[in-house]
Structure formats: C-alpha cells, structure tokens
Structure 1
C-alpha cells in the first residue's frame, strides 16, 4: 500500500510540474494578463467538479468494498456452520464431509483469491463444493433422525453455494467507466488550469502545484483501489476463510 501511495504521489507531482513547465512559460503567464473574475468562476467550477466526482466515487466504492468484505465473512460463517452440522452425521460420512469442507476452504484461499484479483474465480473450489453436495445427497440415512441431520448439512451446503455465487458476482461488479474518465479529465484540467491562465513557472509556484498534483493523484489512487476490492493496493484478504480453518481445528478438539 505504501508503494502504491508513493507512486500515486510521484505521478501527480510529475504531471503537475510538467504542466507548469509547459504552460507556465506562455506569453500570458509572463505578462500576467488575465480577468480575475472569469478566472475565479472557472477555477471554482473545475475544483467543484473534481471534488464532486471524487467524493461520489469514494463514497460509492467504499460502500461496495465493505459489502464485498462482509460477503466473504458471511460465506466463511456458512462453511463453519456446515462443518459443525457435519459432526452429527455417522462417523464415516462425518469425516468425509468435514475433509471436503476443509479442502474447499483451503482452495478458496489458495486458488480463488489469486483468480479474484484478475476478476475471475477458480474452478477448483467450485468443483470441490459441487462434489460435496453430490456426496451428501447420496447418503442413505438409517433413521429419521439421521435423515434430518443429512438434510441440515445439505441445506448448509446449498447456503455456501448461494453465497459463493454472490462473491463471484462481487468480483465482476464495477462502476460505470464514464465516471472514471470524467474524474481523470477533471483532475488534469484542475492541475493544468493555473499555468494555463498565467501561473508563472517559478520554483515556489511549481512546488505548490506539485503538492496539488500529489493530492489529486492520491485521490485517484483511492478511488481505483476501492473499485477493485480484490486487487492491489487495497485488496480484501481471505481473513474470514483463514479464521474458518482455525475454527475447524477448535471444533475437532
């Protein structure tokens, strides 16, 4: 995260300094001729546009980011519930189902998460879960109580399947690209505006504009990071599933 933040700051500074050097040597910048009222109105409009777009995107993507993270905990909780319910099955069935749930959880961490960073999900844990559902459906209970226990586990596996589908949908969701394009255009115009209208490219002015560019770059990084919750630099970690694996050990104990 520190690397990406530093990169965003550096890019913002480079853009700002480049624009200052490019436009700060124009005839208008040297002569200082401008209309203060018009500049004030246009500058305020550019600033407001960038703030409005950035604030909207940060609020929207932050809400989506938190929802996606909550969905991972919901799924992991369902896996733990299924693991607990499997303890009521007959010994052979219990060991087989619990082993499958442990495998599924490990595969989510090892296979699903890297794939989710590429906006995909892995077929390996999906196949493991499907196999578990088939195995539980094929169990032949000897008593009515055993049938109820089998049905409870089957319902828990169906719940995991549903929540996995939700997580897969989260991976592919994104805000309309037009909003990001508008934000980048507003950012460039905001940084380019001072030298365009007459900001002289001296050391002090360039330093101030570089600071503005750094903050604008950091704001864009935050928006991009939150809009891709399973990718760097703000990626959601599989903490919920790692915790579920720890809970399996406690349940076995």
Structure 2
C-alpha cells in the first residue's frame, strides 16, 4: 500500500508538470523569450525557498509527532505489563480474573482500537473493558493492610493505563494546522508552473526536466501527508507494543 501511494504521488507530480509545460510553454512570451533574467531569478529562488521552507517544517513537525505517538503506544503497553505483574500478588481467584481482563483489553486494543484509530476514533468496547477492570479491582476487599497495599498498587497501575489511553485517543485526533497544507499545495503549484510561465519552451528535454521536478515535489507532498496521519495508511503505526505486551504476559505466566 505504501509503495502504491508513493508511486501515485510521483505520477501526479509528473502529470501536473507535463500538462503545465505543454499548455503554458507555448505562449507568445515563451516563444519570444522576452523576460528580465534578474527579476525572474529572484522570483524563482523565492518560490523554491518557500516550498522548501514549508515542506521542511511540515516533515520535521509530522515526523516528531509520529515518533511521539509511537512512543505513547509503548508507554501504555508497558503500563499494562506492569499491571499484569502486580495482579500476580493478589489471591488466586482475583489474580486470574484481573489477568484475564487485562489480556482481553490488550487484545481489544489490537483488534478493535487500531482499525478505529484509522478513522480518528477509539473502540468503545476496549473502553468498557478497561472501565470494568478498574471497577473490579476497586471492589476487591483485602483481608489486611498488606493486601490493601497490593490492591492499591494495582489500581494505580490501571489508572496509569487509563491516563495513557486518553493520551493515545488525543493523538488520534491531532493534526497540523490546515493552513500549512494549503501553503504547501500553493507553493508546489507555483514552483512547477513557474518555469513554463516565464518562458520555458515545451521541447522534450525541458519537459523531462520539469517532470523530474514535479516528481520530487509530489513525493515531498506524499511524505508530509503520510506522516500527518500516524494511525492511517500508508505509514500507520502498528500495534507492535501491545503484541509485545501479550508476549510478556505469557512469559510472566510461565
């Protein structure tokens, strides 16, 4: 899927560049070559700098957000593993019930949450499971102070999972300001359309060169758009952290 979208972005950039070159490179100005080289050089440099500035800012910002979102999934999975281990200190019946519900929750995060997060949502089913688990631990009546300490530690770990789940839910709905994407598209169009507008003739060599520029511009836009949606295709964050948590559950049981 990622390869498809990358190729698609390249093709779109090439098509836009070729069409612009053919349509705009046959004007009277293009044929006569009447222009001011110094002024056009300044304008061309400004357009290129504008595109580079906006693209670099968006790639840096979205890449940072992408890595932060991925780290948040590992933080939540680590808290789930801690809670699973702490549940082992409870009496056998409570231990097995809590561990079973924790396993159910993690499985629901993988199977329910992840598909929903692609649509900027989270799973109500996983939410309900975690809420029920916290309620069950809160209802445990320890026999003494030592047992209460163990229950309280587990409850705190579950609260930590809940807090980190809220952070992940917020990550799903975060996006860069829309005006930056508008600026990126405008800068890309001006950058590709500028050469034929100021006199680049539509011969084979020039069309090929402009097509290469269009391909790189299209690829830059693809990277920005892909990184802007960490839980959507084609560069979606995978639930690897929670799969590792399930492996750790099995190891703890062993």
CA distance in 2, matches of 1:177, 1:248: 42
Structure 2 residue matching 1:105: 3-state secondary structure: helix
- The residue number in structure 2 matching 1:190 is 191
Question: Cα distance, 1:49 vs. partner?
Answer: 0.3
- The residue number in structure 1 matching 2:117 is 116
Question: Cα distance, 1:241 vs. partner?
Answer: 0.4
Matched, 1:235 2:236: yes
Question: Cα distance, 1:32 vs. partner?
Answer: 1.5
Q: Deviations over 1:198-223 (max 9, x none)?
A: 00011111100000000000001111
CA distance in 2, matches of 1:221, 1:233: 10
Question: Cα distance, 1:86 vs. partner?
Answer: 0.3
CA distance in 2, matches of 1:239, 1:54: 29
- The residue number in structure 1 matching 2:45 is 44
Question: Cα distance, 1:171 vs. partner?
Answer: 0.6
- The residue number in structure 2 matching 1:161 is 162
Matched, 1:32 2:30: no
- The residue number in structure 2 matching 1:205 is 206
Structure 1 residue matching 2:201: 3-state secondary structure: coil
CA distance in 2, matches of 1:41, 1:103: 62
Structure 2 residue matching 1:241: 3-state secondary structure: helix
Q: Deviations over 1:44-70 (max 9, x none)?
A: 000000000000111111111111100
- The residue number in structure 2 matching 1:81 is 82
Structure 1 residue matching 2:119: 3-state secondary structure: coil
Question: Cα distance, 1:134 vs. partner?
Answer: 0.3
Show structure 2 runs of 5+ residues with no match.
none
CA distance in 2, matches of 1:98, 1:152: 15
Matched, 1:135 2:136: yes
CA distance in 1, matches of 2:217, 2:118: 25
Q: Provide the aligned length of Structure 1 versus Structure 2.
A: 253
Q: TM-score, normalised by structure 2?
A: 0.98
- The residue number in structure 2 matching 1:4 is 5
Question: Cα distance, 1:6 vs. partner?
Answer: 0.7
Question: Cα distance, 1:40 vs. partner?
Answer: 0.1
After TM superposition, where is structure 1 displaced by more than 4 Å over at least 4 residues in a row?
none
Question: Cα distance, 1:155 vs. partner?
Answer: 0.5
Question: Cα distance, 1:36 vs. partner?
Answer: 0.4
CA distance in 2, matches of 1:169, 1:8: 29
Structure 2 residue matching 1:230: 3-state secondary structure: coil
CA distance in 2, matches of 1:22, 1:72: 49
Question: Cα distance, 1:30 vs. partner?
Answer: 1.4
Q: TM-score, normalised by structure 1?
A: 0.99
Structure 2 residue matching 1:18: 3-state secondary structure: helix
- The residue number in structure 1 matching 2:174 is 173
Question: Cα distance, 1:22 vs. partner?
Answer: 1.0
Q: Deviations over 1:136-193 (max 9, x none)?
A: 0000111211111111110000000000000001111111100100110000000000
CA distance in 1, matches of 2:104, 2:214: 48
